[in-house]
Amino acid sequence: MRAQIEILASLQIVDREIKENAGIRQGLLGELQEKERGIRAKKQEIEVLTAACTAKEKLRQEKDRVLQDEGKKAVDKRMRMNRIKNIKELQALQREIDQIRQANSELEEELLKMMIEIDGIKGELKTKQEELVQAQQEWQQTQQGLQAQVSAIDHAVDEASRRRQSIAAEIAADIMSRYELIFSRRGGTAVVEVTGGICQGCYMNIPPQLRNEIIRNEKLNLCPSCQRIVYYKPSEAQEKTA
């Protein structure tokens, strides 16, 4: 059993290496995705602002046309006044002209407000576009580096997986499946040493009876607290038996 446990311990080293690399890889991919998401979000904001700007500009032009038309009407009416002699008709026309002027001055104010609004949106748009350019430049710079890191990890994991295969081939199938179950349930630590009567996985005391069994090493022993596979390093086992 000693040989099997020692092989398991060396398998665990490789498995931890693979697990750690998988974690780093996930982190790197997450970083890549987050940067991509950031750029997509910025593009969307720009689209929304552009649409708002176009709509407001269109409305402004329409109102501006109304203003011009009404202005012309007022001028025409003013000209007509010269040809009218009837006082009542003159007064009525004057009222119409006053109304148009009043409406137009309100329209002018509205137009001014709209122009300020449009300028505001354009300013915001410019800022967002600059931010997008910067984010894209950053993306270009970091993306390659991150991709290279991911490839390097993939390469290292491939290599470790080959090592793992040759180590795993030396382990009995039933021991292997127990080991794998514990490894996945116990955060990547399935095989632990016992040092000074203490399980190095959970730091609980191992009862004396079980200590002796672990030293005898005739079967797979589990820590009663954390259920990990426990063993003594040969030197310490010798000390105990001596």
Interface contacts to Zn ion, rule CB under 5 A: 199, 201-202, 223, 225-226
Comparing CB distances to Zn ion, the nearer of 132 and 222 is 222
Say what the alpha-carbon torsion angle 178, 239, 207, 177 is, to the nearest 10 degrees: 0
For Zn ion, which is the closer residue by CB, 28 or 222? 222
Shortest Å, Cβ 178 to Zn ion: 15
| Residue with Cβ nearer Zn ion (177 or 225) | 225
Give min distance, CB of 183 to Zn ion, in A.
14
Looking at residue 195, the DSSP 8-state letter turns out to be E
Question: For the chain, how long is the longest CA-to-CA vector?
Answer: 136
The per-residue b/e assignment along 57-95, b for 16 or more CB within 10 angstroms, e otherwise, is: eeebeeeeeebeebeeebeeeeeeeeeeeeeeeeeebee
Tell the smallest beta-carbon distance from residue 225 to Zn ion (Å): 5
- How many CA atoms, within 13 angstroms, populate the side-chain half-sphere of residue 9? 16
**At closest approach, how far in Å is the CB of 231 from Zn ion?**
12
Residue closer to Zn ion, measured from CB, 97 or 231: 231
